């Protein structure tokens, strides 16, 4: 599907492929929302639910992506399928010449890269989309995680006997035990779990499947939920989905995010809690306890090991501890 951009009253650029960096970066208000604006709203809603970004960060991403939209309009590119890698190099140069800080430039690139990845994954753009320059390493930050103590506070909340409470703790236990994406959790089918052996068959991005083991605690919670709660939630309805609402319907990402927020407050966790934070915590805690980075990559469903390398700070710290503890000449004679 072609993504059209809105027109504005920006003076015509004599060279439509080069944008004048001397023109101040100003995003004019649109009279009516464009398809681009609608996609932008949907993308930011997705970031809110899946990544738990702060309001100020989301506002900054919106400004960055509106800058990119305005840049394309000045460059006379009115369809996102016509955006190419050189377009992003021109955008990068445009931002630098506009004297934006390195941090602001890096954030613009990060926002634009994520937006285009979203457009490809939702079918708005064909193929893999254009290659976008990576952000400077100074902008790359460590993933936000919970400590093991905070996770235990969340998982050790008192659980009643209502079907909703049994379902809620089973969902959170499984999310932490497997590192699933929230979209994978809420679409997980009952037939895709094997409680006897102890694993789930997760379907990730681009319908790629992977087997992820689950621990005894998560397995016990699933057994109780399936035996004592799922039928009560479904009532007279049927569903292939493992986790259902009290109306017998599958969860939405927003619904699970709200559930997690409530549980976090009950547990006394003050950090902005999101499903993706539990996914990061799963990976971080595995590495802290000696897991191999490649194994973590497979369990997370990362196509490229470079994606998993955001956790290398954990691996480096662990190796340093091993060296300190085991190296025979760590002390001077």
280, exposed or middle or buried, with CB in 10 Å at 0-12, 13-18, 19+?
Answer: buried
What is the structure's pLDDT at 137?
52
What domains are defined for the chain? 35-139 (1.10.150.130), 148-323 (1.10.443.10)
Q: For residue 50, how many other CB atoms are within 10 A of its CB? A: 17
CA distances to 51, 66, 107, 108, 252 from 42, in Å: 14, 14, 19, 18, 14
Q: What are the structure tokens assigned to 145, written together?
A: 């995680």
Q: Is the pLDDT of residue 275 over 60?
A: yes
Closest by alpha carbon to 169, among 220, 213, 241? 220
Q: How confident is the model at residue 308 (pLDDT cuts 50, 70, 90)?
A: confident
For the chain, what is the mean pLDDT?
81
The one catalytic residue in 66, 70, 253, 279 is 279
Three-state secondary structure along the chain?
CCCECCCCCCCCCCCCCCCCCCCCCCCCCCCCCCHHHHHHHHHHHHHHHHCCCCHHHHHHHHHHHHHHHHHHHHCCCCEHHHCCHHHHHHHHHHHHHCCCCHHHHHHHHHHHHHHHHHHHHCCCCCCCCCCCCCCCHHHCCCCCCCCHHHHHHHHCCCCCCCHHHHHHHHHHHHHHHHCCCHHHHHCCEHHHEECCCCEEEEECHHHCEEEEECCHHHHHHHHHHHHHCHHHHHCCCCCCECCECCCCCECCHHHHHHHHHHHHHHCCCCCCCCHHHHHHHHHHHHHHCCCCHHHHHHHHCCCCHHHHHHHHHHHHHHHHHHHHHHCCCCCCC
CB 137 within 8 A of CB 52: no
Q: Which of 181, 210, 219, 253 is catalytic?
A: 181
pLDDT digits (tens, 9 = 90+) for 190-200: 999 999 999 99
- 311 catalytic? Reply is yes
Question: How confident is the model over 217-242, as pLDDT tens digits?
Answer: 999 999 999 999 999 999 999 999 99
Q: What is the pLDDT of residues 163-193, one digit of tens each?
A: 999 999 999 999 999 999 999 999 999 999 9
Token pair belonging to 161 = 């006997």
The first and second tokens of residue 180, run together, are 């699933």
Residues 107, 113, 276, 285: which is the catalytic one?
A: 276
Among residues 17, 97, 205, 265, the one annotated as catalytic is 205
Residue with tokens 């194994």: 295
The closest alpha carbon to 179, from 3, 316, 311, belongs to: 311
Question: pLDDT tens across 94-146, in order?
Answer: 887 787 777 788 888 888 888 988 888 888 888 766 666 665 554 455 678 89
């Amino acid at each position: 599907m072609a993504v059209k951009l809105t027109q504005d009253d920006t003076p015509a650029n004599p060279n439509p492929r080069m944008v004048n960096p001397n023109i101040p970066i100003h995003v004019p208000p649109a009279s009516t929302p464009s398809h681009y604006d609608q996609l932008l709203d949907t993308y930011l809603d997705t970031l809110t639910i899946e990544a738990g970004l702060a309001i100020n960060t989301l506002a900054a991403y919106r400004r960055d992506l509106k800058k990119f939209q305005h840049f394309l309009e000045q460059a006379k590119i009115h369809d996102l399928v016509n955006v190419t890698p050189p377009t992003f190099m021109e955008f990068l140069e445009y931002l630098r010449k506009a004297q934006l800080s390195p941090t602001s430039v890096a954030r613009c690139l990060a926002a634009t890269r994520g937006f285009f990845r979203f457009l490809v994954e939702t079918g708005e753009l064909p193929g893999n989309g254009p290659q976008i320059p990576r952000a400077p390493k100074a902008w790359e930050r460590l993933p936000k995680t919970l400590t093991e103590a905070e996770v235990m506070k969340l998982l050790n909340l008192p659980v009643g006997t209502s079907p909703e409470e049994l379902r809620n703790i089973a969902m959170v236990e499984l999310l932490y035990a497997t590192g699933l994406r929230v979209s994978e959790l809420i679409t997980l089918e009952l037939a895709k779990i094997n409680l006897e052996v102890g694993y789930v068959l997760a379907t990730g991005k681009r319908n790629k499947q992977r087997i992820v083991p689950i621990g005894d605690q998560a397995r016990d919670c699933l057994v109780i939920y399936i035996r004592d709660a799922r039928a009560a939630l479904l009532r007279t309805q049927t569903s292939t989905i493992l986790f259902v609402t009290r109306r017998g319907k599958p969860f939405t990402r927003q619904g699970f995010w709200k559930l997690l927020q409530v549980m976090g407050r009950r547990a006394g966790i003050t950090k902005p809690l999101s499903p993706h934070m539990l996914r990061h915590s799963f990976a971080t805690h595995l590495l802290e306890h000696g897991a191999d980075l490649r194994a973590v990559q497979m369990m997370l469903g990362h196509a490229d090991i470079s994606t998993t390398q955001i956790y290398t700070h954990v691996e480096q710290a662990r190796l340093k501890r091993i060296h300190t503890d085991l190296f025979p000449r760590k002390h001077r004679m």
